[in-house]
Amino acid sequence: MRRAANFCVLSVLCAGISGLLPFRVANADQASGAPAASGAVAVAMKNVEFHLTDNIIVHVATLNGKITSTRGEIPVLDDKQSFMLEVDSAKVAVSMTALANDLNDYVFAKPDAPLKKLNATTQGQLLVVKGLLVSKGGIPFEMDGALSVTPEGMIRVHTQKVKALKLPVKGLMDMLGIDTANLLNTKKVEGVTVDKDDLILDPSKILPPPELKGHLASIDIVGGQILLGFKSSEGPTKQPAVVNSCPARNYLTLKGGSVRFGKLTMSDTDLELIDSDPGDSFDFSIDHYKDQLVAGYSKMTRQGGLCVQMPDFNKVKAKGNSQQKDNPRP
């Protein structure tokens, strides 16, 4: 199998075909998305700006864990709903811009969500959220909250000050009214519940796919960003650390198991996506990774793995926009 895989890769590379490397190293059942017998895919990231969407970007300082299927089939990178990231350990930073975009575009995106036009800032160790209380006729509100982690690994936002129409109110319950439980529930806002005057946020539900499954162990505000520390939801793990074959400062690495992306299905996965400009963090978009692959280049290791040098997505996007301006359609 390894010899056949190497032959296929070499054939593609020698032919000079760029893009998604359309070769198969798995049998027909696996290529069609059937269950993979080789288990989960180990994943490691370092210094990655991970685009969950075009506007929701989190900084992954480090992450170690595995990719597992949500459907009992091979994880497909082109389908974010097909897999989740099960975290053994991770350090993730969320900027206020990313948080505001997440609240508006994802958490409270449903038409009947009670809060709209949200903005997030920090004031010392407090999170300050402003917006409109649509459920009360579009009343402007402001809420200051202290962040902590519950024993279950949820985010608790303890409201210390609440204003509506710039007037102080007693608390979150008074601002939202007696129907709070009906306003903020999983039917209208998934991952958000109310505990008296506190908001309880489920970190695995308040960010877009792929789902980040792990136990939140710490939360802090540093430099105007929210820092999240995750550990395995199943306790200490003995899973060995991912070892890279290619020297890299910033990377996303997949090892073992089976994974599919584009027209390629890889078994015994050995794929390292490397930042071609290590002077800054690796800007990676799960929605547009094909554009980064096309703009980069690949090199095979002696073990039959692939090291893929990829330019940052923001630079690929900027170059594409520049070319469109220089060559407008007639």
Owner of token pair 């109310």: 194
Q: Is 172 helix (H, G, I), strand (E, B) or coil?
A: helix
- Among 109-118, 144-153, 176-185, the least confident range: 176-185
- Give the domain ranges of the chain: 2-45+71-82+242-324
What are the tens digits of pLDDT across the range 183-226?
Answer: 454 456 788 888 877 889 999 999 999 999 999 999 999 999 99
- 83-95 and 211-213: which strand pairing? parallel
pLDDT digit string, tens, across residues 9-29: 333 333 333 333 333 333 333
The tokens for 287 are: 């929605």
pTM of the model: 0.81
d(CA 311, CA 254): 18
Confidence class for position 273, pLDDT limits 50, 70, 90: very high
Q: Which residues contact 166 (CB under 8 A, 6 or more apart)?
A: 140, 142
Counting DSSP H helices and E strands in the chain, the numbers are: 7, 20
Query: b or e along 163-183 (b: 16 or more beta carbons within 10 Å of the residue's beta carbon)?
Result: ebeeeebebbbebbeeebeeb
